[in-house]
Amino acid sequence: VKKPWQDLRSDDPGYPEGMADAAEPGLRALVVEDERHIRELVALHLELDGWKAVTVGDGEAALKLAREQPFDLVVLDLMLPGLDGLTVLRALRRDGLGADVPVLLLTARREESDKVLGLETGADDYLTKPFGVRELVARARALTRRSRHSQRTDGPPVDAGRVARLGNVTIDPARRRVTVGDEAVELTGREFDLLYLLATHPGIVFSREALLARVWKGETFVTERNVDTLVKRIRRKIERDPAEPTLVLTVWGTGYKAADV
Ligand code: CA
């Protein structure tokens, strides 16, 4: 009998080049998975990559932990006993410490529709089981990447290297660093790419479709609602009042633009 973890491959040919540096030390990941062997395997490989991994086997425990402690990443299985992954994700996004944490969903192939729902609910990425652990580690890093040595395999969307300014927000693509006034704020890779794209084209309207093409680059299972979710999260990080945005503006019926300030 083949056990589930025996399907996990650690030698994916798709493992991106240039990812040899370890993850930043001290990054904390919460691994939520009821299948013990997958949970331990994921935690082990994250820890080998320099992460501190905290593991739980059910949704209630996950939610409690994520609300009490800061994490840099949540690896969330969709099919959990009790509170399922989507319910956990929705609850996480609603309040407190977990509202902005990057979430990587783990799904089974039969859960395709849940995957779409997951991305709409605010997950940042997903992996379908069986997945390669190196791919998981690569995705985990990509979701929290900020250092200048790191690079998305597909590169930032435009104008790599030029520092962009939007009101009191400075966006430095070389360091993948964003400051609001004097204060550094942490953006996920995709939040950064979207903000940078808009900020380097002040006043230019981008449709949701165009943003999907530029920021998500042909990924499947994303919809225009993913754009709205991402914009909301960016606003929470950079706008003085996210409910009355002055930097990333909605263009009704079309999409978004950066204020021409
Ligand atoms: Ca499961």
How much distance in Å is there from the Cα of 78 to the middle of ligand 1?
A: 6
- Got the DSSP string for 93-130? HHSGGGGG--EEEEE-GGGHHHHHHHHHHT--EEEESS
Q: What is the pLDDT of residues 82-136, one digit of tens each?
A: 899 999 998 888 766 777 788 999 988 777 677 777 777 778 888 888 888 888 9
Model pLDDT, residue 24: 57
**From the CA of 69, how far away is ligand 1's center (Å)?**
23
User: What is the chain's length?
Assistant: 261
Residue 77 CA, ligand 1 centroid: distance in Å: 6
Mean pLDDT of 227-241: 96
Kindly state the DSSP code that residue 179 receives in the 8-state scheme: E
Encoding tokens for residue 71? 């994490």
Among residues 173, 170, 174, 176, which one has the least CA distance to residue 188?
176
Give the Å distance between the CA of 4 and the centre of ligand 1.
Answer: 11
The predicted structure's pLDDT at residue 190 = 92
Phi/psi zone of residue 151: left (φ > 0), alpha (ψ -120 to 50 degrees), beta? Answer: beta
CA of 134 to the centre of ligand 1 (A): 20
Question: Does pLDDT of 11 surpass 70?
Answer: no
Asked if pLDDT for residue 141 goes beyond 90, the answer is no
Contact (Cβ atoms closer than 8 angstroms) between residue 124 and residue 93: no
Q: What percent of the chain has pLDDT over 90?
A: 43
Q: Which of the residue ranges 22-26, 152-156, 171-175, 184-188 has the most confident prediction, judged by mean pLDDT?
A: 184-188
Is the pLDDT assigned to residue 45 strictly greater than 60? yes
CA–centroid distance, 64 to ligand 1, in Å, is 19
List pLDDT tens digits, range 203-222: 888 888 888 888 887 677 78
Instruction: Give the CA-trace dihedral at 65, 68, 74, 80, to 10 degrees.
Output: 30
pLDDT of residue 101: 85
Q: Is a pLDDT exceeding 60 seen at residue 6?
A: no
Mean pLDDT of 15-33: 64
Give residue 198 CA to ligand 1 midpoint distance, Å: 38
